[in-house]
Amino acid sequence: MADDQRAPIRVFLLDDHEIVRRGIRELLESDGDIEVVGESGLAEEATRRIPALRPDVAILDGRLPDGSGIDVCREIRSVDPSIRALILTSYDDDDALFAAIMAGAAGYVLKQVRGSDLLDTVRRVADGQSMLDPAVTAQVLERLRSGPPRDEGLERLTGQEQRILDLIAQGLTNRHIAQEMHLAEKTVKNYVSSLLAKLGLESRTQAAIYVNRRKP
């Protein structure tokens, strides 16, 4: 198909401010090669709608009233890895950038970005390119190697907790861990809270670092 006959890039917008969504939509659709196929202001709704709509790119706000775009990224890519995720945020936060990379995001862009640069980023991400700085990715890999200090917490985990920890490190969501282990999702959440407390960790990302650091 010729370039001028290519189907528009399908985009889903997630941002809790309607005026921001409206502005981004107008920008994206200004050149005619991008189509906004859906939008939402809540993480839970977006997690449900995005896999059904199957956009080429999901633009996800970093912080939301009921969660984060990074959590949505992890969830939707566990359902459909072909959906490319672009985190758009107001916060230049190293931990959030690290978590975005771990969740499989293809890009991390600050809202101060110029309109033309955002359009270019969306097109490149839709084309399969990663818009993450290689130097930043290298820093993430270094963090995986160094990780948090090792302690004796692992020996305090039950067999179930150790298996769940390994699945977290593989990038599985609570829902998929529940399916893998034939448990209720609420039970998995309780296990995750327990193992994090025993290891002195605060998040699933830290747990993934902890496991990867212990690998040879």
Question: What is the tens place of the pLDDT at every residue in 160-174?
Answer: 888 999 898 888 888
Mean pLDDT of all residues in 85-93: 84
The two counts, helices (H) then strands (E), for the chain are 10, 7
Q: Where are the beta strands (DSSP E) in the chain?
A: 9-14, 34-40, 57-61, 63-64, 67-68, 84-89, 107-110
CA dihedral 96, 100, 140, 156 (to 10 degrees): 80
Give the residue with greater pLDDT, 205 vs 181: 181
Q: Return the pLDDT at 1.
A: 47
Taking the C-alpha atoms of residue 89 and residue 69, their distance in angstroms, rounded to an integer, is 9
Closest residue by Cα to residue 84 from 58, 64, 54, 66: 58
- pTM as predicted: 0.68
**In angstroms, rounded to a whole number, what is the distance separating the alpha carbons of residues 4 and 49?**
29
**Cα(146)–Cα(26) distance, integer angstroms:** 44
The average pLDDT across 195-210 equals 82
- pLDDT at residue 140 in the model: 64
Q: Which residues pair with 39 in a beta bridge?
A: 13
pLDDT band at 158 (very low <50, low <70, confident <90, very high): confident
